[in-house]
């Protein structure tokens, strides 16, 4: 056997273990399935046996169910996973919530959750019992009606196209043969293409199929939670601490800041009255949003019970965009009002590759057929090194927490002068040490 094939076989044998890599170890555990409101929508998570605390949002409709499933650790994502494809057992019993010695026993209910459109915003809702059944039936009826209208529309389009093609062929034939065709032309001109049915817009997110769980709507506080059988026996691993919290203070305004020269690299300004530092060479595009403050540990655990967080710090969470407002820029001379506009990011032609943000005009041709950016444009001028802006609503009232300052950081042309000044202490130290060494050497020579 030659050397190269032998080395190749050795390489294959040394890497063959990857073909039989060990599957994650799965363990059968008691779990709580949690559906909680998180301040902007509903999100689901699980509580494993190893976790001793469940987190819920205060004074909102939340749902918990108990069961058994396989749990395993997935090292690729460094997270715990639930495998319900093989084992998925739901328990029917009593969920007991203890509050200062008082027991609240809960029975399971059927529920669904969804969002409805209110203008350009959406509102999340959860309904239970018969109301949940009616809501889901209403959605199915809307969906069935719309699908039937789409089928009718597609058939009508086929008939329209067949008739138009037939008239076109007949008119062409008669015209070539010198026969009259005015009546056929009048019929063809009178054909109207069927109107496409409108998509139902009532639901932002349609109701999910009916689920069964235990409904919890609790005020802020700390509770105890356990699951009991109908005989009153507590199930193993079901005892948990229940933390119910919410947002801190009133919502404020945050801004997504997009520099024109790096429009794909945006940053958020979340602290009220903070300062935006710019280089003065590019405009800014601003997108405001409502934000709420939460404890970092609480909100991280609310979204994912296995997540980590810091209970000593707070975090800002985007909830929804700001609509119907204008930005007022406070210059030294006079304030300027800026409205929200549509922009398109167009690629620069030629050897100098790059992008340019232009006001969107539907009559012009761009690389993108639709606007890439909907924002407020804040012009930056080096002659105005400092200014501020804030957001006002339709009534002209300043929205709380929307004030920001902008400062242009000068880029000195003689930057080497500042670098040289900073290096003077280092140069002095080197000279002093060098002179000391010479002095020591001369002293040793004399001795």
pLDDT tens for the chain, residues 1 to 447 = 555 566 566 655 555 444 445 678 899 999 999 999 999 999 999 999 999 999 999 999 999 999 999 999 999 888 999 999 889 999 999 999 999 889 999 999 999 999 998 776 789 999 999 999 999 999 999 999 999 999 999 999 999 999 999 999 998 998 888 888 889 888 888 899 999 999 888 899 999 999 999 999 999 999 999 999 999 999 999 999 999 999 998 999 999 999 988 877 889 999 888 899 888 888 999 999 999 999 999 999 999 999 999 999 999 999 988 988 999 999 887 889 999 998 888 776 655 556 788 888 877 766 556 787 889 999 988 888 899 999 998 888 899 899 999 998 876 555 566 666 777 888 878 887 777 777 766 655 544
Task: Give the β-pairing of 62-74 and 211-216.
Answer: antiparallel
Question: For residue 424, is it within any domain?
Answer: no
Q: Does 301 reside within a domain?
A: no
pLDDT of residue 447: 47
Given this model, what pLDDT does residue 11 score? 58
Has residue 182 been placed in a domain? yes
362 found inside a domain: yes
217 and 93 share one domain: yes
Question: Is the CB of residue 253 less than 8 Å from the CB of residue 269?
Answer: no
Q: Which of 118-123's residues contact partners 24+ apart within 8 Å by CB, and which partners?
A: 119/323, 120/323, 121/320, 121/323, 122/204, 122/205, 122/320
Residues 84 and 215 placed together within one structural domain of the fold: yes
Q: How many domains does the chain have?
A: 3
Question: How big is the chain, counted in residues?
Answer: 447
Structural domain range at position 92 = 22-128+211-245
106 with 153, same domain: the answer is no
* 310 occurs within a structural domain: no
Q: Which residues of 183-192 are buried (b: 16+ CB within 10 A; e: fewer)?
A: ebbeebeeee
For residues 330 and 224, membership in a common domain is answered with: no
15 inside domain: no
Any domain includes 256: yes
Q: What is the pLDDT of residue 268?
A: 92
Instruction: Give CA–CA dist 90/343, Å, rounded.
Output: 51
**Number of CB atoms found within 10 A of residue 43's CB:** 14
- What is the value of pTM for the model shown? 0.78
Q: What is the dihedral of CA 49, 55, 60, 62, to 10 degrees?
A: -10
pLDDT score for 417: 61
φ, ψ dihedrals at 214, nearest 5°: -105, 125
Residue 102 lies in a domain: yes
Cβ neighbours of 274 (radius 10 Å): 12
> Do residues 100 and 216 share a domain?
yes
Structure tokens at 282: 């590019």
Residues 355 and 262 in one domain: yes
């Amino acid at each position: 056997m030659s050397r190269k094939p032998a080395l190749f076989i050795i390489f294959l044998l040394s890497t063959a273990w990857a073909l039989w890599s060990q599957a994650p170890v799965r363990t059968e555990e008691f779990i709580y399935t949690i559906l909680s409101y998180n301040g902007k929508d509903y999100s689901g998570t699980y509580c494993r046996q190893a976790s001793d605390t469940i987190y819920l949002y205060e004074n909102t409709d939340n749902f918990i169910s108990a069961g058994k499933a396989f749990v395993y650790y997935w090292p690729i994502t460094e997270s715990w996973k639930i495998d319900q494809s093989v084992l998925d057992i739901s328990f029917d019993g009593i969920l007991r919530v203890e509050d200062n010695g008082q027991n609240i026993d809960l029975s399971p209910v059927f529920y669904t959750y969804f969002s409805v459109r209110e203008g350009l915003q959406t509102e999340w809702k959860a309904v239970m019992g018969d109301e949940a059944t009616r809501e889901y039936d209403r959605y199915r009826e809307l969906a069935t009606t719309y699908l039937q209208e789409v089928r009718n529309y597609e058939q009508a389009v086929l008939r329209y196209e067949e008739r138009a093609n037939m008239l076109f062929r007949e008119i062409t034939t008669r015209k070539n043969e010198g026969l009259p065709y005015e009546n056929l032309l009048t019929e063809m001109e009178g054909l109207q293409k069927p109107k496409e049915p409108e998509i139902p817009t009532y639901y932002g997110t349609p109701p999910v199929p009916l689920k069964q769980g235990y409904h919890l709507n609790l005020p802020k506080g700390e509770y105890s939670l356990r699951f009991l059988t109908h005989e009153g026996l507590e199930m193993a691993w079901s005892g948990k601490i229940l933390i119910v919290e919410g947002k801190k203070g009133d919502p404020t305004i945050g801004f997504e800041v997009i520099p024109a020269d790096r429009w794909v690299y945006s940053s958020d300004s979340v602290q009220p009255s903070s300062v935006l530092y710019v280089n003065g060479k590019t405009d800014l595009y601003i997108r405001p949003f409502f934000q709420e403050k939460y404890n970092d540990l609480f909100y991280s655990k609310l979204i994912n019970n296995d997540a980590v967080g810091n209970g000593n710090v707070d975090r800002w969470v985007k909830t929804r965009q700001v609509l119907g407002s204008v930005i007022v820029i406070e210059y030294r001379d006079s304030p300027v009002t800026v409205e929200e506009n549509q922009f398109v990011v167009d690629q620069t032609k030629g050897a100098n590759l790059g992008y340019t943000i232009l006001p969107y005009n539907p009559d012009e041709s761009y690389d993108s057929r639709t606007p890439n950016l909907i924002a407020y444009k804040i012009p930056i001028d080096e002659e105005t090194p400092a200014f501020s802006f804030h957001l006002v609503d339709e009534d002209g009232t300043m929205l709380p927490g929307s004030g920001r300052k902008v400062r242009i950081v000068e880029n000195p042309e003689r930057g080497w002068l500042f670098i040289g000044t900073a290096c003077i202490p280092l140069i002095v130290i080197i000279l002093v040490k060098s002179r000391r060494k010479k002095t020591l050497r001369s002293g040793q020579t004399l001795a």
